Amino acid sequence: MKFGVVVFPGSNCDKDIILALENTINKQVVELWHKDTDLKGCDVIFLPGGFSFGDYLRSGAIAKFSPIMKKIIEFGEKGGYVIGICNGFQILTESGLLPGALLHNTSNKFICKNVNLKVVNKDTLVTKRVKKNIVKIPIAHGEGRYFADEKTINSLFENNQVIFQYCNENGETESSANPNGSLSNIAGICNKNRNIFGMMPHPERAAESDLKNTDGVALFESILASLES
């Protein structure tokens, strides 16, 4: 079983994801350069976030034109597993692999802090091993506000495609617990076929005891357990 992490010019979370995968589930990880046209036999593709030039250039809109994205779109449409984190989530929406869009935070400021996430759907590739109803995962974005039309939002909930919602410590999705203004406090979704996933928070930044937070480990363990079951 092999995991691929796409490296874009200026991305700075690719190494974080690679280390998290290697340290939490001890699996082979391959770096895929954005100009590659071969996914090198990977079973799961990660699109990382943390672009060093910030969110000023709509990084997802630009990255979707990278040569490797054509192969990733084909891979995802055929049922291959694709996971986008932060700007990677943005790339998935810009590429049409996930519905909706990521807009500037309502505060118009970059936000970097731990947030509480309500695990809405525990029967997905990334949540099957998550025992907690609420996990604490860091966010770091300026353009993380999830937006879609009312019909799409309703469809996401009706089809159990919403995976995470921003919440308070009691699991309540109140407006004060929403860091960026995302509609319905949405922090992560999947497609109808349950093979493409996007989330704004960074589980790879919550996968080491040295970081005083290991809530992200269960997400990576869920991926491995789902694939091996």
Out of 42, 141, 167, 204, which one is annotated catalytic? 204
Instruction: Characterise 24 by phi-psi region: left (phi > 0), alpha (psi -120 to 50), beta (else).
Output: alpha
Out of 42, 86, 167, 190, which one is annotated catalytic? 86
Out of 13, 42, 141, 202, which one is annotated catalytic? 202
202 is a catalytic site residue: yes
- Choose among 25, 206, 224: nearest CA to 128: 224
104 is a catalytic site residue: no
Which residues are identified as catalytic?
86, 202, 204
